[in-house]
């Protein structure tokens, strides 16, 4: 069965052009077949800071995931729409935690892997949901929380800094959590930073994969 192609899917896009000033920017993006404009990127969006600093430029490739389709005339929901509809009035809204630089050899368009990792040190509290984090569980047992939830404590498994992480999930998702195991957790919402610990909460789309 063919993989469903949606605006939120993990893709690599080319930045065709950037227009705007310090007050706000718009980017034109392409998957190699269609182009689409972003919604205005305004302060305090972290993507605006990257554009202002010149760290995003025309000709650059970007990994994107979790994008939203805005102003689609036939009112198709973003999780049902084709990736880049050729409709000039449609716009795509990017979220900082769902965007990172892609290597030049990456092919444009839909990617084989339907997830995109972010290390904890890359994540912004204002940057929207995170497609995938990879943590090493550090607690002997999960901590019970109110309303049928539980908390996993760990450190970032792919960042040399080993940043501490706490994730609050539905209790059913933490049954396989054991100290020393790795947990790959999809679609988390950053909640707060307490000291040097980044806290996340699960969403309706969250899934957890435990491994060695």
**Which residue(s) pair with 110 in the sheet?**
11
For the segment 179-190, what is each residue's pLDDT rounded down to a tens digit?
Answer: 999 999 999 999
Q: What is the CATH number of domain 11-110?
A: 2.40.50.140
For the segment 107-124, what is each residue's pLDDT rounded down to a tens digit?
Answer: 999 898 888 989 999 999
Distance CA 44, CA 125 (A): 12
pLDDT band at 11 (very low <50, low <70, confident <90, very high): very high
CATH architecture of 120-211: Beta Barrel (2.40)
Q: Tell me which residue of 19, 47, 14, 41 sits closest to 30, measured CA to CA.
A: 14
State the pLDDT at residue 145: 86
State the pLDDT at residue 174: 87
| pTM recorded for the entire structure | 0.83
CATH 2.40.50.140 residue ranges for the chain: 11-110, 120-211
């Amino acid at each position: 069965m063919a993989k469903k192609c949606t605006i939120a899917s993990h893709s690599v896009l080319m930045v065709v052009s950037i227009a705007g000033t310090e007050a706000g920017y718009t980017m034109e993006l392409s998957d190699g077949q269609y182009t689409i404009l972003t919604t205005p990127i305004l302060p305090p969006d972290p993507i605006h800071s990257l554009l202002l600093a010149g760290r995003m430029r025309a000709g650059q490739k970007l990994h994107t995931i979790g994008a939203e389709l805005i102003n689609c005339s036939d009112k198709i929901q973003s999780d049902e729409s084709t990736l880049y509809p050729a409709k000039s009035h449609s716009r795509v809204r990017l979220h900082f935690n769902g965007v990172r630089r892609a290597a030049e050899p990456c092919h444009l368009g839909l990617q084989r892997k339907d997830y995109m990792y972010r290390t904890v040190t890359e994540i912004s509290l204002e940057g929207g949901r995170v497609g995938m984090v990879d943590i090493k569980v550090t607690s002997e047992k999960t901590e019970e929380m109110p309303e049928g939830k539980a908390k996993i404590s760990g450190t970032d498994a792919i960042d040399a800094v080993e940043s501490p992480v706490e994730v609050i999930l539905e209790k059913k998702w933490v049954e396989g959590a054991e100290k020393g195991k790795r947990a790959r957790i999809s679609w988390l919402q950053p909640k707060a930073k307490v000291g040097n610990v980044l806290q996340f909460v699960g969403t309706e789309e969250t899934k957890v994969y435990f491994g060695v």
